Amino acid sequence: EAQVTQNPRYLITVTGKKLTVTCSQNMNHEYMSWYRQDPGLGLRQIYYSMNVEVTDKGDVPEGYKVSRKEKRNFPLILESPSPNQTSLYFCASSPQVANTGELFFGEGSRLTVL
């Protein structure tokens, strides 16, 4: 089944404890992206990647890192999480690099930072 898989789906952590949210897609998509969803703010892009070893900042990259060593994986790293990073995170991928509106989303990872 074609899908985008995120782990963990739910996580409660404490300020400063490094964590990684994994994202994997099995559709051979070149484009991958991370978003956070917050009440009243909609979806905001954190980072995106056009291809392996190519990553770019989105609208809210502060406090996050990403890597794209393989085509299928695009982990989101929070080196020192803070409470303002409590959010619902979505990974997405797209088959087209030139028109990346056709996004396939994972089911989301709800992160709480205490």
The residue (of 73 and 104) whose beta carbon lies closer to other proteins is: 104
Q: Is 105 in the site for other proteins (CB under 8 A)?
A: yes
Angstrom distance (rounded) from CA 102 to CA 113: 31
Angstrom distance (rounded) from CA 89 to CA 106: 9
Give the per-residue contact string, 2-31, with other proteins (x = CB under 8 A; - = no). --x--------------------------x
81, 113 in Cβ contact below 8 A? Answer: yes
113, 21 in Cβ contact below 8 A? Answer: no
Angstrom distance (rounded) from CA 103 to CA 72: 15
Q: Judged by CB under 8 A, which stretch of 10-18, 62-70, 73-81, 95-103 contacts other proteins?
A: 95-103
Q: Is 50 in the site for other proteins (CB under 8 A)?
A: yes
- List of residues contacting other proteins (CB under 8 A): 4, 31, 35, 40-45, 48, 50, 58-59, 90, 92, 97-108
